[in-house]
Structure 1
Amino acid sequence: MGFTSSLVVEEIDGKFWKVREPLTYQGAAEEFVVPADFRTDFASVPRPLVWLIPRYGVYTRAAILHDYLRRTERVGAADADGIFRRTLRECDVSRPRRWMMWAAVRLGSRLQGISPTAFAVLLVVAVLSIVFVAIPTVVVAVFLVLFWFIELLAWPVDRLAPPERRTRVPRPQMRT
């Protein structure tokens, strides 16, 4: 069981990537193949939380498989999220990070198909996660907005520079 192929990707733009060769995962009863040309953003982590869980890491293959399972609806939301948690474990993601990531995708799935026991576990993990990340997340978010304003103020100054001294800087955007 586990991933039986290497991950080969190509960057599309600053956020999205394309799987260049099929990514294969052998589950307990089924084999899942993420096809070549599948588009992914790796782990969909809100920008203020990337200090804790970057968009890519040892869990990148698990995130791509989860994206594929959710987008194709090959399995239900609860099963896709469960496979995600199992693949995170198989990728040697630490228990706290694994459970936080699972709680996030479960909440993103709007708790579809969740059992009472899983809901209780999710509630505990979510509360502990919120307590742990609330203050740093607020601080990071405030400084991201502040930096965006600084970039926004610097952008017209760059546009007013003589053409030979001007750098090609895109208009600042607040991306998620």
Structure 2
Amino acid sequence: MGFTSALVVEEIDGTFWKVREPLRYAGSQEEFEVPAGFRTDFASVPRPVVWLVPRYGVYTRAAILHDYLLRSEVVSAVDADGIFRRALRECDVSVPRQWMMWTAVRFGSRLRGITPPALAVFTVVAVLSILFLAIPTIVVTVFLVLFWFIEVIAWAVVKVLPHESPARAPRPEMKT
């Protein structure tokens, strides 16, 4: 079980990538194939928490598979989220990160089809994640906003000031 092919992607732009060769995953009962040409942003992570979960890592194949399963509706959102959690484990993602990522995708699917025991697990993991992430996320968000202001000010200054091209060094004379 697990991924039975390598991930081969091509960058489309600064955000999106295209799967170049089919990505295959063997589940416990079914096999899934993300087709060549599938467009992905890898893991959809809110910017303030990319310090903890970057957009790509050992979990990239699991994130792409999850996106494909949700968009293609090959399985239900509940099953896609469960397969995602299993794929994270098979990709050797740490247990805390697996559960935090699973909680995030369950929340993203608005908890559709969640059972009472899964809701209890979701609630515990969500509360612990919020407690762990609250202060760093607030700090990162404040600094992202601050940096945005700095970028806007720098952009305005560059637009207002005259822009000269760099001086060229004189060409050496050739003796004949």
TM-score over 0.5 for the pair: yes
Q: How does 1:12-161 map to 2 (within 5 A)?
A: 12-160=12-160, 161=162
- Between Structure 1 and Structure 2, how many residues are aligned? 165
Deviation by residue 1:122-173 (Cα, 9 ceiling, x = unmatched): 00000000000000000000000000000001012222332525xxxxxxxx
* Residue 14 (structure 1) shift: 0.9
Amino acid at match of 2:135: I
Deviations 1:65-98 (A, max 9, x none): 0000001111000000000000000000000000
| Structure 1 moving runs of 4+ over 3 Å | none
Identical aligned residues as a percent: 75
User: Normalising to structure 2: TM-score of the pair?
Assistant: 0.92
Instruction: Tell me the residue number matched to 1:173.
Output: none
1:134 aligned counterpart, secondary structure: helix
In 1, the alpha carbon distance for the partners of 2:155 and 2:163 equals 14
Give the superposition deviation at 1:27: 0.8
SS of aligned partner of 2:6: coil
Q: Alignment partner of 1:33: what SS?
A: strand
Partners of 2:75 and 2:119 lie apart in 1 by 19
Listed as ranges, the gaps of 5+ residues in structure 2 are 167-176
Structure 2 letter corresponding to 1:78: V
Structural RMSD (CA): 0.9
Scaled by the length of structure 1, what TM-score is found? 0.92
Once residues 133 and 33 of structure 1 are traced to their aligned partners in structure 2, the CA distance between those partners, rounded to angstroms, is: 34
Establish whether residue 162 from structure 1 lines up as the match of residue 167 from structure 2.
no
Distance 2:23 2:57 in 1: 16
* Structure 1 unaligned residues grouped into runs of 5+: 166-176
Structure index of larger Rg:
2
CA distance in 2: counterparts of 1:156 and 1:136, whole angstroms? 30
